[in-house]
Structure 1
């Protein structure tokens, strides 16, 4: 399966997602940051169906507390995962691939919170804004490597290209892919280019 890993800027609509779908017609799935969809879920479902792509990331529901939610939409435009942040880790099998979903700081707050995390093919890690320090960047990459090794699975994470945490002056965009042995396939710091990862060849 070919994954497009994007680092869009924060926006009220999802123009950048639509642009990436048009630019990369060969991919099977797109991974985007926490909260990126905002409340544009219906439009995202339409895009998934019209482009026949799997969409994996996060959205916000303002009536919830916390408001951020994990989401996966299949090629038919159907929501197959939609859970509130800090709840049990969810797993969805799509086209033979078992995918787990960790949302932003769940990585360091709770990790894989599940009674049955075995036999996972891929963990996706949508992140909100960039890292607020070099130390945080290294900490999160280190935690991702530990999870990859512990559960013998690949993990892919991506943040927005902009934004800061609680008005911090520093925002370091991050994207990464760690293989099941805890070895980096790629680690991106302050480089917001979209990347295509092929899970069959493990090449970027």
Structure 2
């Protein structure tokens, strides 16, 4: 058992203290959390990962125990009585903050909004205005692509974890895992292309 109990989001802790959750599965905990806090369906794969990572920390801390009977699907976990006496920090990162960080952690923040000058007396933009317009469009495309890449990367990791934890699911989701992996590779290529294009534009 770890000497320092981990921090945990209060909403997860409250679920674990409920009598009905004395024994639980990651999926049951995820579904309860999503229902109580209005998590969108498209975010539930990420939510499952969020909860799973925190349950693993509680297992390491000796506050939750994994059932000795290994199940291919819906592995059982038990909340140990010691969790009620543990000096847990209930100010752990919320799911919303965690998910936002996952999506935007590598995105380059634009320091200031690029203002594209307009000359009403001319139908053509000056070279400097055209460059500013191109830079703004590239920066916007880069941020959107980085966000999509991180989301897809999270999907790849979630599918891999599901296949590891539930081997019987592997035949039915291995194609989805491969598709997500291929999409992440293509998006990474696009991110690199956009970054190089911005670099070249900045050097002209």
Q: Which has the higher strand share?
A: 1
Say whether the fold is shared (TM-score over 0.5). Answer: no
TM-score of the superposed pair, with normalisation by structure 1: 0.24
Q: Which has the higher helix share?
A: 2
TM-score of the superposed pair, with normalisation by structure 2: 0.24
